[in-house]
Amino acid sequence: MLVELTGRPELAAIGPQTPLLHPPVRLDSLAGTLLLRQIRARYGVDVADEDINLDALATLGTLAAFVAARVTPAAGPGVQSGS
C-alpha cells in the first residue's frame, strides 16, 4: 500500500519497526490521509476514528497490529470485528 500511495518502490522492503512519519518513510499529511482512507476501504477499519492521537501510525508494525486486531480473520478484508 505504501509503495502504491507514494510511488516509492524502496518502501516495499521496510520492516515493522520502521517509523512512518520520520525517515525513511516520512509520510506527509496527504499521504497519511490517503493511507488511512485506503485502510478503511480495504479492511473496514477507521484508524483516525478509533485512534484519535494516531499512535497507530508510529511504525509499520503498530499500524499493522492495530488493523489486524480489528479485522476478523475468518471474515477477511472489509469486515470489522464485532460486525
pLDDT in tens, 17-74: 999 999 999 999 999 999 999 999 999 999 999 998 999 999 999 999 999 999 976 5
The contacts of residue 4 (CB under 8 Å, 6+ apart) are 38
Q: Do residues 22 and 59 make contact, with C-beta atoms less than 8 angstroms apart? A: no
Q: Where are the beta strands (DSSP E) in 1-83?
A: none
**pLDDT of 68:** 95
pTM, two decimal places: 0.81
**DSSP structural state of residue 54:** -
Residue 47 identity (one-letter amino acid)? V
User: Tell me, what amino acid is at 39?
Assistant: I
